[in-house]
Structure 1
Amino acid sequence: MKAVVFQGVDEPLAVEDVDRPECEPDGVVVETEACGICRSDWHAWQGDWDWIGLVPSPGLIFGHEPVGRVVEVGENVERVGEGDRVTNPFNLSDGTCPHCRAGRANICERSVPMGFVPFQQGAFAEEYPVRNADQNLVQVPDSVDAAEVAGLGCRFATAFHGVVHRVDVTAGDWVAVHGCGGVGLSATHVASALGANVIAVDIAADKLAMAEEVGAVETVDATAVDDVPQAVKAHTERSRGVAVSIDALGVAETVQNSVNSLGKGGQHLQIGMTTSDEAGEIAVPIDTMVTDEREFYGSYGMPPNEYDEIFRMMTAGTIDPGTIVTETCSLEDVPDVMDRLGEYDTLGIPVCTEF
């Protein structure tokens, strides 16, 4: 089968013929309908995240935002069968640890990141495997477009989990989103759907314009102001600051701007992961966080049990993840799209739909 194969850090990705995946007794093999192309793939390609133990080796197949139909089922799998249309979280869980049993499988103690380790290949391929299928697979309604589901996989799911389940966003709240890439636009859309007044912050006019299209009521061009937090606060009641501020990029400047945009008692939500420039360490104003009782939260993927919420909101027309999918491509085009991610030359979420 055809797959996009990692050759080494910063080496060109190659479309190659590879063996189809083997089906484990507790797993399945899925024929790929679509797979989102995520900045996390780009991070791994560049050799980022060795500080959290992710060191990809040549031969790896990236791709962790998939949807497809089951074509082979392991002997121990009970909940899905051949022909079922499925998706899964990118952080595959085993279902047995205390976090899994508490409904927080996204932080499973034995989590396996799909497409980042050689024993769990990803979905930039005609077929992909999923381990612990009964735990991780989510049935997808046939009415939902494949590109929309692929757009959910990492960025939208992480934003949804963070905005809906990690912080307290209620109707009328002021919420700032720093960085309007795929995950930032997703956070903007979800917070707006909950009735929040979203202030979108970025340096690119086209991304700010798209943020308005998906729900932002105010925007801040970070290149046009001297003090981003003060520019954000100026939009809020009596310039008190926002109730929730979200960093969707993961660089020092945006993290600090996000924390400093908060009002007293505000909540910072960290979605963006750092690059080698920060290597996972960013200074934040600890004393102000203490005296203002600001809170710091992280959001890492989404457990399988929360997908039904997204599908219900999609059916009701409350959210529309498809508005953030701006580009579709073939498997052969994935290396080029990945290259453009490094130049921040993509808008919204690109998805591979031709295999």
Structure 2
Amino acid sequence: MLRIKVMERGFSRLSGYCGSRTGKPADFHRFCMRNLVPRALNNRITEGGAHLSVDALGSRETCRNSILCLRKRGRHIQIGLMAGPEANPEIPMHVVIARELEILGSHGMQAHQYAGMLQMIRSGKLRPELLIGKLASLEEGARELMAMGGFQGVGVTVINL
């Protein structure tokens, strides 16, 4: 697992730029997903670009934008497989070379670590329910599946049977 600690002060600073009233991490994340933060603003907020970017969504656009938001000698981590039309993203190689960036791939969690992860869920250290963005009925499920490529919401949509 990759753990990144961001101080509350940092979220307060970001929320001031982005209009989030609470300064809470979840609110800032929702704001950014709805109003893609322009690279110029990202560079201003981070004082020259991010040191690290992570794409666990598997989207061409997210991968490319993450790389473009990095500062010199920054690192991008691509987590999981990219499939279908998203499988081969256009990497801005001129930026990778000019900024001496590192691009790392991570297949995801190894199967032998699942038992430890499940124990963390049971103990409350991991709370996967916070990843749920929307609950849908089986009837709504077809529309939700058709809209998946639009990345309109935050979180996972769960279809109830």
TM-score past 0.5 threshold:
yes
Of 228, 251, 255 in structure 1, the residue corresponding to residue 60 of structure 2 is 251
Aligned partner of residue 75 in structure 2, secondary structure: strand
Residue in structure 1 matched with residue 90 of structure 2 by the alignment: 282
Letter in 1 for 2:143: D
Equivalent AA in structure 2 for residue 213 of structure 1: A
CA distance in 2, matches of 1:235, 1:241: 8
Say which of 249, 252, 269 aligns to 2:77: 269
Match of 2:50 among 200, 217, 242: 242
TM superposition shift of 1:315: 4.0
> Percent of pairs identical after alignment?
22
1:212–1:218 contact (8 Å) kept in structure 2 = no
2:41 is matched with 231
1:266 partner letter? G
1:260 corresponds to: 68
**Residue identity in the other structure for 1:171:** K
How far apart are 1:275 and its partner, in Å?
A: 5.6
Check whether the contact 2:136–2:159 (CA below 8 A) recurs between aligned residues.
yes
The count of residues paired between Structure 1 and Structure 2 equals 148
Give the structure 2 partner of residue 171 of structure 1.
5
Q: Is the 8 A contact 2:64 2:89 kept in 1?
A: no
Give 1:273's aligned amino acid.
Answer: M
Distance verdict in 2 for CA 1:218–1:330, change over 3 Å: closer
Matches within 5 A, 1:1-355: 164=2, 169-172=3-6, 212-213=25-26, 216=29, 219=32, 221-222=35-36, 228-236=38-46, 239-247=47-55, 248=57, 250-252=59-61, 254-271=62-79, 273=82, 276=85, 280-286=88-94, 288-290=95-97, 292-331=99-138, 333-354=140-161
Higher-Rg member (1/2): 1
Cα offset, 1:321, TM superposition: 1.4
Whole-angstrom CA distance in 2 between matches of 1:261 and 1:279? 21
* C-alpha distance in structure 1 between counterparts of 2:30 and 2:150, whole Å: 27
C-alpha distance in structure 1 between counterparts of 2:150 and 2:48, whole Å: 35
Structure 1 position 282, deviation (Å):
0.6
Q: Note closer, same or farther for the CA distance 1:293–1:306 as it changes in structure 2 (3 Å cut).
A: farther
Structure with greater proportional helix content? 2
For residues 124 and 143 of structure 2, the distance between their equivalents in structure 1, rounded to whole angstroms, comes to 33
TM-superposition CA deviations, 1:250-283 (whole Å, max 9, x none): 234x33321121123321122473663x661413
Extract unaligned runs of 5+ from structure 2.
15-21
Q: Deviations over 1:147-172 (max 9, x none)?
A: xxxxxxxxxxxxxx5xx2xxxx5435
- C-alpha displacement of 1:244: 1.2
Residues 312/265 of structure 1: CA separation in 2 closer, same or farther (3 Å cut): farther
> Which amino acid letter does the alignment assign opposite residue 245 of structure 1?
S
2:45 aligned counterpart, secondary structure: coil
Shift of residue 249, structure 1, vs aligned partner: 5.0
Query: CA separation in 2, counterparts of 1:230 and 1:170?
Result: 23
Q: Give the structure, 1 or 2, with the largest relative contact order (CA under 8 Å, sep 6 or more).
A: 1
| TM score, norm. by length of structure 2 | 0.63
Distance (whole Å) between structure 1 residues aligned to residue 106 and residue 96 of structure 2: 19
